[in-house]
Amino acid sequence: MSDPLRLGIAGLGTVGVGVVRIIRQQAALLEARTGRKIIISAVSARSKGRDRGVSLSDYGWEDDPIALATRDDVDVFVELMGGEDGPAKAATEAALKAGKDVVTANKAMLAINGQALAELAEAEGRVIRYEAAVAGGIPVIKALMEGLAGNEITRVMGVMNGSCNYILTRMENSGKTYQEIFAEADGLGYLEADPQLDVGGIDAAHKLAILSAIAFGSKVDFDGIQLEGIERVSIEDIRAAADMGYKIKLLGVAQKTGRGLEQRMQPCLVPDTSPLGQLDGGTNMVVLEGDAVGQIVLRGAGAGEGPTASAVMADICDIARGVRGPVFGQPATSLATSKAAQSQLPAPYYLRMALVDKPGALAKIATVLGEAGVSIYRMRQYEHEDSSAPVLIVTHKTTHAALQDALSNMDSTCVMAGAPVALRIEEG
Ligand SMILES: NC(=O)C1=CN([C@@H]2O[C@H](COP(=O)(O)OP(=O)(O)OC[C@H]3O[C@@H](n4cnc5c(N)ncnc54)[C@H](OP(=O)(O)O)[C@@H]3O)[C@@H](O)[C@H]2O)C=CC1
Ligand SMILES: N[C@@H](CCO)C(=O)O
């Protein structure tokens, strides 16, 4: 039997406590599976006295996470504090320099500082594992890095923020507005301490940036993501999209195109019968596409104590078994600097507009679209009692530039009774 694997766990919140629980409750199973005892040497959090619902009396305590990360009786530093820099990054660096491996759930830190940390880890001969950082309990890092290692990845796509999916699903089911459901989700404690991380799409974009680096062999590039949150998704659009056979999701997409690496996180329409369209509530889904495998769909809990601790444990078990490898699947120094695609691949778009109800109004809009090279695929005008006519259009595939051209010319037609709404449709 090998020596025990000794952990130092910094952060005893939702995830940290979940990890402590699994290690205490599943000690025999973990030892049987890895051939080693997995033990906790010491822990760290901000307040030592807080009752966390698990016994910590067997473990040492450090107020300072850096002191924990560099202890002689720690082999693996488990960073579960959060934050893109500050103590999380400082302690991670200290751990690597002191010859420790690192396991973290911190997507913000990796999305912003992943390249530098990966270079440091690899120079020190250490590993950083982060299965929990993307889509919580779904083993998507393993799927991409190991299961699909023989594929050229063509597209990565997914719903990776449970709180946003909860809000959009609740709006759809309740008919309530974004503001009403945001307040409900906040009251239920479903949102991050800074809700903008969720509803602004930032948390999901952190996750997409990490997947994109692995999938396309490029340096993690959070700033290269075209980012839009869900704040402008209205209940009118959710209803209208449903009527046309779509659901609205905060969707992340990364793909390599002739014009560079396209990475975007934005509200999109997806067919309501598609796996993404059927994803309700706080669940996550990641769709991976490879040249040999085709498409695979992974679905599961993207957050919460059990699912996230499950992913952290997978990383700890790998280290216990001696499974090692470069942080992003290939040596950090070999990762390419990606060129961000300035334009998105063509797609169909959904347009919702209110037109002044007078002869020729629709014809003028059709002309503007036609002149910009945007072709109408489907169209619907609804009954109305006032003087503005609600009109929905689904276009054929078109470029974003052509669509913008059409939208900017619509104003001059003098038949618009309000600003049009345009949302991309992501098929398949
Ligand atoms: N919660 C989830 O479902 C998921 C979380 N993650 C990620 O996991 C990580 C942890 O998240 P979560 O458990 O929810 O966070 P919590 O806010 O529940 O817990 C954070 C913990 O870190 C401790 N901490 C914060 N700052 C310091 C510091 N300077 N020194 C020592 N300890 C500190 C806190 O101490 P104290 O308790 O004393 O205040 C607390 O125990 C984050 O990176 C998050 O993004 C990833 C996927 C899902
Ligand atoms: N706020 C995140 C937590 C998990 O990263 C979510 O809703 O998915």
For residues 121-131, give the mean pLDDT: 98
Partners of 101 in beta bridges = 76
- Calculate what percentage of the chain has a pLDDT beyond 90: 95
Q: What average pLDDT is seen over the chain?
A: 96
Distance 80 CA to ligand 1 centre (A): 5
User: Does residue 207 carry a catalytic annotation?
Assistant: yes
Given 89, 100, 207, 247, which residue is catalytic? 207
CB 287 within 8 A of CB 274: no
Q: Which ligand is nearest to the CA of 190?
A: 2
ipTM rounded to 2 decimals: 0.97
User: What does pTM read for this prediction?
Assistant: 0.96
Partners of 381 in beta bridges = 391
For residues 152-159, give the mean pLDDT: 97
Q: What angle do CA 324, 328, 330 make, to 5 degrees?
A: 75
pLDDT in tens, 386-414: 889 999 999 999 999 999 999 999 989 99
Return the best residue to mutate from 9, 14, 79 for the ligand 1 pocket (most ligand atoms within 8 A of CB). Answer: 14
CA distance 315 to 326: 13
The CATH topology of domain 349-425 is Alpha-Beta Plaits (3.30.70)
Amino acid at 56: L
Domain boundaries, the chain: 5-133, 142-301, 349-425
Residue nearest to atom 2 of ligand 2 (CA): 161
Ligand 2 in reach of 200 Cβ (< 6 A): no
Q: What CATH architecture does domain 5-133 belong to?
A: 3-Layer(aba) Sandwich (3.40)
The CATH topology of domain 142-301 is Dihydrodipicolinate Reductase; domain 2 (3.30.360)
Which comes out higher in pLDDT, residue 405 or 338?
A: 405
Q: Which ligand is nearest to the CA of 64?
A: 1
Return the best residue to mutate from 14, 163, 167, 182 for the ligand 2 pocket (most ligand atoms within 8 A of CB). Answer: 163
pLDDT in tens, 23-74: 999 999 999 999 999 999 999 999 999 999 999 999 999 999 999 999 999 9
pLDDT in tens, 234-258: 999 999 999 999 999 999 999 999 8
Q: Which ligand is nearest to the CA of 132?
A: 1
Partners of 77 in beta bridges = 8, 102
Residue 1 confidence (pLDDT): 64
CA 323 to each of CA 19, 132, 140: distance values in angstroms, whole numbers, following the listed order: 20, 17, 17
pLDDT in tens, 255-292: 999 889 999 999 999 999 999 999 999 999 999 999 99
Residue 387 confidence (pLDDT): 86
pLDDT in tens, 309-333: 999 999 999 999 999 999 999 999 9
Q: What 3-state DSSP class applies to 17?
A: helix
For residues 227-234, give the mean pLDDT: 97
Q: Residues marked as binding?
A: 107, 192
